């Protein structure tokens, strides 16, 4: 990349549709920014409903003049939730022109293979090479190590019509209107990653920095960056600052996605995160997935104009 910023092209607007998140509420109302799926169709309440799970999947649609580009960011946890919700929301898998995996954890890769089986391809799949690392563990205080399921497998991808784009650095997609950040620099003093994440490498157990963590940035014309994160294991502020650095764009219009501020280790840095995020003054703020209830509640208090509660089926439009 050198010292020159990535040439991220402007879009007229970006839409982010939540296909999978931890939360669903069919009674939420619309605003100028978010459209909620209707409770009823043709005068009747449907017998089936959108489902939530501890995972994330976002459909990102970019509009520039007569161009339209559609990217799927992550694929949820289970093998059924994403396709179920896509069916209810009448989303055709064939409209997806590229797929981006934020990192290799199971709650972001769950429906990957069933989804690929429904897309004729060839489909570009952007992933950091460390997403294939295994075995990975989650360490408990009592000394036990919980093994992460191995979802991402080269052998499985080779069976499908996928154009695998492995990169540690930034990648431009969709006519250069979407930037996958690649590996995020860690520069803040308080964002230190997931402390009990472990990795076995060459027979040795070591700390897993989850270097495969990456996000997507979009440049909305006249407004600035919209940053969309998966889990932000690198830290949501680190992720935003890195996107600003590699694009050379200093204004932040929106931040959506998982901020990973849940639990005893991360809750102490909620206030630091809020303090630094206020300096950037995002106009749209949508914490999702692993952000945690306490952090979401604090964001709603500290960003009363920008904050929007997410729910499966919500469509956010930023223009």
pLDDT digits (tens, 9 = 90+) for 241-276: 999 999 999 999 999 999 999 999 999 999 999 999
Length of the chain: 319
What is the average pLDDT value for the chain, to the nearest integer? 96
pLDDT of residue 1: 46
pLDDT of residue 3: 65
pLDDT (tens digit, 9 = 90+) per residue, 207-233? 999 999 999 999 999 999 999 999 999
Is the predicted pLDDT of residue 298 greater than 50, yes or no? Answer: yes
Label residue 287 by pLDDT band (50, 70, 90): very high
**How far is it, in rounded angstroms, from Cα 307 to Cα 296?**
9
Label residue 11 by pLDDT band (50, 70, 90): very high
Label residue 235 by pLDDT band (50, 70, 90): very high
| Residue percentage of the chain with pLDDT more than 70 | 99
**How far is it, in rounded angstroms, from Cα 186 to Cα 233?**
10
Residue 195 DSSP code: T
Nearest partner of 167 among 150, 156, 179, judged by Cα: 179
pLDDT of residue 40: 85
**End-to-end Cα spacing for the chain:** 28
Strand order in the sheet with 34-35: 34-35, 315-318, 13-20, 57-64, 67-73, 98-100, 123-127, 162-166
In the chain, what are the domains?
Answer: 10-130+156-192+211-318 (3.60.15.10)
Is the predicted pLDDT of residue 2 greater than 60, yes or no? Answer: no
Q: What average pLDDT score do residues 291-315 get?
A: 98
* Bridge partners of residue 58, in order along the sequence: 18, 73
pLDDT (tens digit, 9 = 90+) per residue, 169-185? 999 999 999 999 999 99
Strand order in the sheet with 204-207: 145-147, 136-139, 197-201, 204-207
Q: Give residues with Cβ within 8 angstroms of 12, minimum separation 6.
A: 63, 64, 65, 220, 221, 319
pLDDT (tens digit, 9 = 90+) per residue, 26-82? 999 999 999 999 988 888 998 899 999 999 999 999 999 999 999 999 999 999 999
**How far is it, in rounded angstroms, from Cα 257 to Cα 237?**
12
pLDDT (tens digit, 9 = 90+) per residue, 79-121? 999 999 999 999 999 999 999 999 999 999 999 999 999 998 7
pLDDT of residue 164: 96
Long-range contacts of residues 268-273, Cβ cutoff 8 Å, at least 24 apart: 269/190, 269/191, 270/294, 270/295, 270/298, 271/298, 272/188, 272/190, 273/190, 273/191, 273/236, 273/237
Q: What average pLDDT score do residues 18-26 get?
A: 97
pLDDT of residue 266: 97
Nearest partner of 229 among 270, 260, 198, 196, judged by Cα: 260
Nearest partner of 254 among 11, 14, 21, judged by Cα: 14
Nearest partner of 216 among 233, 237, 239, judged by Cα: 239
């Amino acid at each position: 990349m050198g010292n020159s910023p990535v040439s991220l092209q402007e879009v007229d607007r970006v839409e982010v549709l939540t296909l999978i998140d931890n939360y669903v509420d069919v009674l939420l109302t619309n605003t100028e920014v978010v459209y909620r799926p209707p409770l009823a169709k043709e005068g009747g309440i449907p017998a089936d409903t959108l489902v939530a799970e501890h995972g994330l999947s976002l459909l990102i649609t970019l509009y520039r003049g007569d161009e339209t580009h559609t990217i799927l960011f992550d694929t949820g946890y289970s093998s059924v939730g994403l396709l179920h919700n896509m069916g209810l929301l009448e989303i055709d898998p064939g409209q997806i022109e590229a797929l981006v995996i934020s990192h290799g954890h199971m709650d972001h890769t769950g429906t990957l293979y069933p989804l690929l089986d429904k897309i004729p391809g060839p489909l570009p799949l952007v992933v950091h090479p460390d997403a294939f690392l295994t075995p990975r563990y989650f360490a408990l205080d009592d000394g036990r190590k919980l093994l992460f399921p191995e979802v991402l497998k080269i052998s499985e991808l080779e069976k499908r019509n996928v154009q695998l784009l492995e990169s540690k650095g930034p990648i431009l997609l969709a006519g250069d209107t979407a930037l996958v950040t690649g590996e995020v620099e860690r520069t803040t003093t308080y964002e230190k990653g997931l402390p009990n994440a472990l990795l076995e490498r060459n027979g040795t157990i070591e700390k897993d920095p989850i270097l495969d963590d990456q996000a997507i940035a979009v440049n909305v014309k006249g407004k600035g960056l919209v940053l969309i994160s998966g889990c932000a294991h690198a830290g949501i502020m680190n992720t935003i600052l890195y996107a600003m650095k590699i694009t050379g764009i200093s204004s932040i219009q929106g931040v959506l996605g998982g901020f990973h501020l849940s639990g005893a280790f991360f809750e102490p840095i909620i206030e630091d995160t809020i303090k630094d995020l206020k300096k950037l003054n995002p106009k749209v703020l949508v914490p999702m997935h692993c952000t945690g209830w306490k952090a979401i509640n604090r964001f709603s208090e500290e960003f009363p104009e920008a904050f929007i509660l997410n729910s499966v089926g919500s469509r956010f439009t930023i223009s």
